[in-house]
Amino acid sequence: MKYVLMFVETEEFAKRLEAMDGLEREAAYEAVVRWFAENSGKITHHMHLAPAHTATTVSLGGGEPVVTDGPFVEGKEVVSGYAEVEVADLDEALKMARSWPACPIVEIRPVA
């Protein structure tokens, strides 16, 4: 089965990352690189997204489409990246998500 793991940053996580010194931040990034390496056999595609303020949103409800700069909603949580994985079942996707070493929230969705 294919799932997408969406990595969700919180304001608190971003502040903690920003407050780290160089060695701490490097160790945090190395943990993410290690996670991707350890799960490389199950990951079919992954990307880190540009910050939420770089988003452009097209609202299609009611009449002419409206284009605005920025995300659709202002929030304390933003999707910062994703990985598409091919695993046996949801339990295996959950196991991967539980071992994610970075953002404090991982949303899992099946690929339709």
pLDDT at 109 over 80: yes
Arithmetic mean of pLDDT, 42-55: 92
Is it the case that residue 71 has pLDDT exceeding 70? no
**What pLDDT is stored for residue 67 in this prediction?**
86
Mean pLDDT of the chain, nearest integer: 91
Taking the model in full, what pTM does it have? 0.85
* pLDDT tens digits, 11-24: 899 899 999 999 99
Q: Tell me how far CA of residue 13 lies from CA of 61, 68, 92, 100, 104, in angstroms.
A: 33, 27, 25, 14, 7
CA distances from 8 to 4, 28, 70 (A): 12, 16, 17
DSSP 37-77: HHTTTTEEEEEEPPPGGG-EEEE-SSSS-EEEES-SS--SE
pLDDT surpasses 80 at 28 = yes
Residue predicted with more confidence, 21 or 69: 21
